[in-house]
Amino acid sequence: MKSRITPYLQSAPAMLWLGLFFIVPLVAIVSISLMTGNPIDGYTLTWNFSIFPDVLDQYSPQLGRSFLYGGISTLLALVAMYPVAYWIAFHGGRRKSLFLFLLLLPFLVSFIIRILTWQFILSDEGILLGTLKSIGILGDDAHILSTPTAVITGLTYDALPWMALPIYVALEKIDRDLVEAAGDLYASGYQQFRRVILPLSAPGVYAGILLVGITNVGDYLSAQILGGPSTTMIGNIIQTQYVQNGDYPVASALSMMLMLALLVCVFVYARVFGTRTIQEYS
Amino acid sequence: MTQPRFSRRQVVKGAAGALAGLGLAQFIAACGLPGTKDTGWEAGFDWSDWWKRQRRHDELNIASWPLYIDTENGKHPSLQKFAKQTGIDVKYSPVIQDNAAFFSQISPVLQNGQSIGYDVIVMSNGWQLTQLMQNRWLIPLDHSRLPNFKKYAGTVATDLGYDPHLTYCAVWQAGATAIAYDERQVDGPVDSLEILFDPKYKGKVGMLSDPDELGTVGLLALGIEPETSTYADWKKSAALLTKQRDQGIVRQYYDNGYIKALQDGDLAVTQAYSGDIFQANHSGYPHLKFVIPREGGVLWRDNSVIPYHAANPVDALEWINFYYDPEIQAIIEDWVNYISPVPAAKPIIANQLEDPVVADSPLIFPSEEELARLKEYPMTETLETHEKWVGLFDPIIQS
């Protein structure tokens, strides 16, 4: 008897956690998305499944754009931060912690302030464009703010530490003897990196991509502050529908669609690169 | 492990049991989110009798917008005077940044029949204020306790299309929405909304992301009177604004951020609020010009209202009455720089406070002819018309 109950008791905290913070909100969102009504008369559950094709039809440009911006910014952050994490892990020496701290330092400033700073940097007559215009590299009416470039810049910038940290941890954990052994077996520097270090850091890259990708696809502040007339992301729509229009079913349905689409992406990604690498190498 | 691990089936069964325990099944079955209907005071309630029984509590909680009251070294002289004269202990919270966001915060509380903790809130005329009135979530004002309002309120405060009998609203400040331009980038003078649609300023035109502001400027540009406009007119306005966006003329649909973009030189011309431009003019940006174009502008008001269940309604009236005193209004207006509801504050600002720049500014004390050129937003009295309106203009702003 005891042996039958014990595992349940042992897993109770985890189950409770999952139930409270995952299942309950999820069921709430699903059921709200299937309701119809309005803020004045209230919403009732009518199992309105047609809301999903409806919102998909209406908001597919914004949904697609979110994945595009999210994907590009994630890749850019990866390309930018892998070398940094590599350098700190392998060449940081005794000052590793200092370098990590410096990397994180700008991120102690509030998120909003950091985005607004980009508004300042990228403004038409600002320090970047103003300079390029005065030396004639850019035309007078060139602008970056209010374009997709500005939104992706904001998304990428904000992702940097979240990409760097997991990669750094993975690189840091690599047994240096393995690298040395590769060298002893006449692997060139490139081969050591390609055949030993890169595969061993894969779990970190995987974690970084998930962490950044999921956050960035759902982001709305970057588009709101740095974007223009045609850079609206799905997060902006969800926010407007929920806060401005009180249209909870549409907001919930969009959140569901976003979650499902992300799940599909994560699943495909895990199938192609992810779990195999993690199981093999970690 | 000596005992068998969990099988997947067991986990699922356990989870299902836990779910049932949490009552989710009932939740789904009885599902629904209550509406705001019939959650306010009962129709026909005798407010004059109620007011007779109310007493002062010497406490007052005000919710307002940031930078919207005279401020000196972090203190508010007008409020300090009020506290000293009346003995009322005032707590002033500049917590409102957006009508819709604030409404969505207070709405669940009012819906539950509870107090939101404020005795006075400042709301702009628009859908959220209309909702507050229609839901009977506001306490009707007792004008017998507002002698200063009766004596000093100008037409800006007494001629309200959205509250014609002044049942709930005592204007805190008003303002004009029209256009502002950067003299260095635009050959002035500008006198028409046509400039907002001029391809010459492609990528340098700012529009407002508030659907009321955006839709109304489209109507004005087409020469349509907003207050009496019909759904067919709204569609024309939406078509005009869609074309403007698709031609690449609009740089961005801004909230209050337009003022920074204009100051930075990112915008040549933009929809703008009067007070912002006045303040910019006197803080290092004299080249920004505000004009009410010949097609007209919009006059909006931010209103002090008393939410239902407020704990200190009499103290709230004392405050409203206090700020309609021209001496006090002068102190507030000289700092806030929007359009004052009390014309009698003008000579006091000019003579006693010796600030002719404010007193003589048509942006702060507009003449009657100028006021006549300012219109109200189209009336959206029912949810259906409101949804039609945002259904037309939201997709333009968030494309």
DSSP one-letter string for B75-104 = B-HHHHHHHHHH--EEEEE---S-HHHHHH
- Dihedral sign for Cα atoms in the order B184, B187, B191, B196: negative
Whether residue B161 is found in the same domain as residue B148: yes
Query: Closest-CA residue in chain B for A29?
Result: B28
Structure tokens at B96: 């409102």
- Residues of A with Cβ-Cβ distance to B245 under 8 angstroms: 229-230
Q: Each residue of B304-354: pLDDT tens digit?
A: 999 999 999 999 999 999 999 999 999 999 999 999 999 999 999 999 999
* Residue B24 domain-assigned (yes or no): no
* Residue A123 domain-assigned (yes or no): yes
Q: What is the pLDDT of residue A282?
A: 43
DSSP state of B193: G
The minimal CB distance from B14 to the residues A8, A28, A39 is found for: A8
Residue A6 in contact with partner chain B when CB distance is under 8 A? yes
Domain span holding position B91: 48-174+300-367
The C-alpha atoms of residue B40 and residue B113 are separated, in whole angstroms, by 7
Residue A206, domain CATH = 1.10.3720.10
Query: Closest-CA residue in chain A for B36?
Result: A40
Residue B1 in contact with partner chain A when CB distance is under 8 A? no
* Residue A28 domain-assigned (yes or no): no
3-state secondary structure of A155: helix
The C-alpha atoms of residue B62 and residue B94 are separated, in whole angstroms, by 8
Q: Each residue of B236-259: pLDDT tens digit?
A: 999 999 999 999 999 999 988 899
The C-alpha atoms of residue B160 and residue B58 are separated, in whole angstroms, by 31
User: How do B59-63 and B205-208 pair as beta strands?
Assistant: unpaired
Whether residue B288 is found in the same domain as residue B311: no
**Euclidean distance between the first and final Cα of chain B, in Å?**
57
pLDDT at B52 over 50: yes
* Residue A274 domain-assigned (yes or no): yes
- Residues of A with Cβ-Cβ distance to B3 under 8 angstroms: 3, 6-7
Nearest to B169 by CA among B149, B151, B148, B189: B149
Whether residue B125 is found in the same domain as residue B220: no
Q: What is the pLDDT of residue A93?
A: 86
* Residue B134 domain-assigned (yes or no): yes
* Residue A148 domain-assigned (yes or no): yes
Burial class (CB in 10 A: 0-12, 13-18, 19+), A15: middle
The minimal CB distance from B203 to the residues A43, A143, A225 is found for: A143
pLDDT at B45 over 90: yes
**What residues does B62 pair with on adjacent strands?**
B92, B120
Overall average pLDDT of the A254-268 stretch: 92
CB pair distance less than 8 Å for B398 and A43: no
Q: How many CB atoms lie within 10 A of CB B98?
A: 16
CB pair distance less than 8 Å for B28 and A40: no
* Residue B27 domain-assigned (yes or no): no
Helix axis angle, B313-323 to B77-86, nearest 10°: 120
CB pair distance less than 8 Å for B383 and A45: no
Q: Which phi and psi (to 5°) does residue B109 adopt? A: -70, -50
- Residues of A with Cβ-Cβ distance to B35 under 8 angstroms: 37-43
pLDDT at A277 over 80: no
Amino acid found at B135: N
DSSP state of B72: B
- Residues of A with Cβ-Cβ distance to B268 under 8 angstroms: none
Whether residue B63 is found in the same domain as residue B104: yes
pLDDT at B188 over 80: no
Whether residue B170 is found in the same domain as residue B200: no
The minimal CB distance from A229 to the residues B250, B260, B264 is found for: B250
pLDDT at A157 over 90: yes
* Residue B373 domain-assigned (yes or no): no
Q: How many CB atoms lie within 10 A of CB B353?
A: 16
Domain span holding position A181: 59-281
* Residue B40 domain-assigned (yes or no): no
Structure tokens at B252: 């961005």
* Residue B34 domain-assigned (yes or no): no
Overall average pLDDT of the B297-302 stretch: 96
Q: Order of strands across the sheet with B32-34?
A: A35-38, A42-45, B32-34
DSSP state of B301: E
Structure tokens at A219: 């982001």
pLDDT at B7 over 90: no
Overall average pLDDT of the B66-83 stretch: 94
CB pair distance less than 8 Å for A23 and B5: no
Q: Which phi and psi (to 5°) does residue A44 adopt? A: -125, 150
Residue B264, domain CATH = 3.40.190.10
* Residue B39 domain-assigned (yes or no): no
* Residue A14 domain-assigned (yes or no): no
Instruction: Return the CA Rg of chain B.
Output: 25
Helix (H) or strand (E) holding B9: helix B8-21
Q: Each residue of B211-228: pLDDT tens digit?
A: 999 999 999 999 999 999
User: How do B170-182 and B269-273 pair as beta strands?
Assistant: antiparallel
Residues of chain B with pLDDT > 70: what percent? 92
Cis geometry, peptide bond prior to residue B189 (ω within 30 degrees of 0): yes
The minimal CB distance from B245 to the residues A16, A229, A245 is found for: A229
CB pair distance less than 8 Å for B33 and A42: yes
Whether residue B198 is found in the same domain as residue B220: yes
Overall average pLDDT of the B153-170 stretch: 95
CB pair distance less than 8 Å for A244 and B390: yes
Whether residue B73 is found in the same domain as residue B144: yes
Mean per-residue pLDDT of chain A: 90
* Residue A47 domain-assigned (yes or no): no
- Residues of B with Cβ-Cβ distance to A37 under 8 angstroms: 32-33, 35
DSSP state of B121: E
Mean per-residue pLDDT of chain B: 91
Q: Each residue of A60-118: pLDDT tens digit?
A: 999 999 999 999 999 999 999 999 999 999 998 899 999 999 999 988 999 889 999 99
Residue B266 in contact with partner chain A when CB distance is under 8 A? yes
Task: Give the residue carrying structure tokens 């905290």.
Answer: A13
Whether residue B183 is found in the same domain as residue B270: yes
CB pair distance less than 8 Å for B266 and A143: yes
pLDDT at B16 over 80: no
Looking only at Cα atoms, what is the longest distance across chain B? 93
**Euclidean distance between the first and final Cα of chain A, in Å?**
37
Overall average pLDDT of the A17-40 stretch: 91
Q: Each residue of A187-242: pLDDT tens digit?
A: 998 999 999 999 999 989 989 999 999 999 999 999 999 999 999 999 999 999 99
Q: What is the pLDDT of residue A149?
A: 95
Give the total number of structural domains in chain B: 2
- Locate the DSSP E strands across A75-134: none
Q: What is the pLDDT of residue B159?
A: 93
Whether residue B181 is found in the same domain as residue B271: yes
Residue B264 in contact with partner chain A when CB distance is under 8 A? yes
Structure tokens at A220: 């709305």
Give the total number of structural domains in chain A: 1
* Residue A258 domain-assigned (yes or no): yes
Overall average pLDDT of the B353-382 stretch: 90
Q: What is the pLDDT of residue B15?
A: 54
- ∠ CA B74-B80-B86, nearest 5°, is 160
* Range A22-31, long-range pairs (CB < 8 A, 24+ positions): A23/B15, A23/B19, A23/B24, A24/B22, A24/B24, A27/B19, A27/B24, A27/B27, A27/B28, A28/B27, A29/A252, A29/A255, A29/A256, A30/A252, A30/A256, A31/B27, A31/B28, A31/B31
B300 close to B316: Cβ distance less than 8 angstroms? no
The C-alpha atoms of residue B328 and residue B81 are separated, in whole angstroms, by 9
Whether residue B91 is found in the same domain as residue B140: yes
Task: Give the residue carrying structure tokens 């960035």.
Answer: A216
B369 close to B103: Cβ distance less than 8 angstroms? no
The C-alpha atoms of residue A19 and residue A41 are separated, in whole angstroms, by 31
Residue A199 in contact with partner chain B when CB distance is under 8 A? no
Amino acid found at B309: H
Whether residue B95 is found in the same domain as residue B135: yes
The torsion of the CA quartet B5, B10, B16, B17, rounded to 10 degrees, works out to: -80
Residue B6 in contact with partner chain A when CB distance is under 8 A? yes
Q: Which phi and psi (to 5°) does residue B173 adopt? A: -150, 155
pLDDT at B21 over 70: no
Whether residue B126 is found in the same domain as residue B271: no
The C-alpha atoms of residue B140 and residue B179 are separated, in whole angstroms, by 35
3-state secondary structure of A136: coil
The C-alpha atoms of residue A140 and residue A142 are separated, in whole angstroms, by 6
B205 close to B250: Cβ distance less than 8 angstroms? yes
- ∠ CA B191-B197-B199, nearest 5°, is 115
* Residue A270 domain-assigned (yes or no): yes
Task: Give the residue carrying structure tokens 């599902």.
Answer: B31
